[in-house]
A = this chain, B = another copy of it.
């Protein structure tokens, strides 16, 4: 019998519940300079207007958690991530996902965060487990565990499941509740490996069946190097939701993926009377008329 655990995240006054018994939680990915030159340059210039706009736009488009990444090459990441976080909470009260591989930046962000954050991420390497899990425990945060370790990204679902199981074991031993561990199976580019999509889907199903935990995943790597990427991303995210994905990290401003998530929730029986679908349809119609 599959359990559906619930992860609660909190901002200063808001809370979000992530569960397979609820509609999909969209973690907005746009507050991230990687591959976004305008954001990179603005952050380098100490200008946070775009960050503030990205926060508001993503929430308006359906994100209920915002990922915050301060990965500006050469920057002082602990200071920068605090600036970004302060600017975001200044414009919107919404749970945050602290996205960094730098333990100092993570500690800095958590130290000024009010509520219950999501950490993105820990992985199966000892170094990562040792650095991140105590911080998660100390700050009462939930944590995303990536299915990779010192040997790299395992090439099979079995091996990724093993990494997930190890992260879960170590996290719970470190005093983190099972429901506060979220697993990311790693959806890699199918252009490099025809089975990349399948491996992540199978990993999700195995992890969900065994542990009942929530599942996160980036939704766009999968189509890297392929034509008509938006259709692949939309289809893949719906299949991943069927497999057990509950909180994708994605761009809610992309209509194809957003619509696929809504249709997937409807199909899974998580949108009573289709009210969410119909509401979003009316919003799309209104926007079409404005344009």
Are A264 and B278 in contact, with the CB atoms below 8 A?
Answer: no
CB neighbours (8 Å) of A134 from chain B are none
- B222, B226, B238, B277: the one contacting A239 at CB < 8 Å is B238
Cβ-defined contact, A269 with B194, below 8 A: yes
Say whether A267 contacts B234, CB under 8 Å.
no
Q: Convert A254-290 into 0s and 1s, putting 1 for each residue whose CB lies closer than 8 angstroms to a CB of B.
A: 0000011001101111011110011001001000000
Given the known inter-chain contacts A235-B260, A238-B235, A239-B238, please indicate yes or no for A267 contacting B190, CB distance below 8 A.
Answer: yes
A268-B238 in contact (CB<8A): no
A199 proximity list for chain B (CB < 8 A): 269
Which residues of A159-214 have CB atoms within 8 Å of chain B's CB atoms? 190-191, 194-195, 197-199, 201
Residues of B within 8 A of A194 (CB): 266, 269, 271-274
A267 engages B239 (CB within 8 Å): yes
* Contacting pair A266 B234 (CB below 8 A): no
Residues of A199-258 contacting chain B, CB below 8 A: 199, 201, 222, 226-228, 231-232, 234-236, 238-239, 241-243
- With both chains docked as a complex, state the minimum distance between the C-beta of A193 and any C-beta of chain B, in angstroms: 9
A200 to B38, CA, bound (A): 46
Which residues in A have some Cβ–Cβ distance to B below 8 Å? 190-191, 194-195, 197-199, 201, 222, 226-228, 231-232, 234-236, 238-239, 241-243, 259-260, 263-264, 266-269, 271-274, 277-278, 281, 284
A-B contact pairs, 12 of them (CB 8 A): A191-B274, A194-B271, A195-B269, A197-B269, A198-B269, A201-B267, A227-B277, A228-B259, A231-B259, A232-B267, A235-B263, A238-B239
